[in-house]
Amino acid sequence: MERKSYKISFIGCGNLAYRLSMALKSSGHHVEYIFGRDANEAQKLTYILNKPEGVNNSPFLTSSTENLSDLCKSEIVILAVNDNSIIDVADGLKSIGSDFTKTTILHCSGATDISPLKSFVNHGVLYPLMTLSKTKPVDFSIVPFFI
């Protein structure tokens, strides 16, 4: 049986977004967009994800965007931002007026409850129980996740 490939976008460009986007793309998922408050950092991560020698030569190109409404095209949007920004980012997604009814919105905090995402039809928490670093590779097959 063939596994489904999801269209996934990230808000954030830090350690978690870096490692998780690379892992998901190398697993065959289409990492569509990277949105970050620092457009240069989003472009750097996009460049790394699109390098020909990187991420298993994925046929899917990743784009950086400065437009949150682009993310509603994705099936999953992962908020890989610091805990203090989750509410503001969720409010920003709600306020743009785009249709996120078919999009699953996830945040990655173990310290923040799910309530900031309650206004989205599909929402959840995806929390890896591990400190991640851009400089240290991770084998996600052994990382416990709280869902």
Per-residue pLDDT of the chain (147 residues; tens, 9 = 90+): 677 899 999 999 999 999 999 999 988 899 999 999 999 999 999 999 998 766 566 678 999 999 999 999 999 999 999 999 999 999 999 998 778 888 999 999 999 999 999 999 999 999 999 888 888 888 989 999 999
The CATH number of whichever domain residue 90 belongs to comes to 3.40.50.720
- Domain-located, residue 115: yes
Read off the pTM. 0.92
What does the buried/exposed string (b/e) look like for 4-33 if buried means 16 or more CB atoms within 10 Å of the residue's CB? eebbbbbbbbbbbbbbbbbbbbbeebbbbb
Total domain count for the chain? Answer: 1
CA 138, 116, 45, 33 dihedral sign is positive
Segments forming the whole domain that contains residue 94: 7-146
- Domain-located, residue 45: yes
- Domain-located, residue 1: no
What is the average pLDDT score of the chain? 92
- Domain-located, residue 2: no
Helix (H, G, I), strand (E, B) or coil at 132: coil
- Domain-located, residue 24: yes
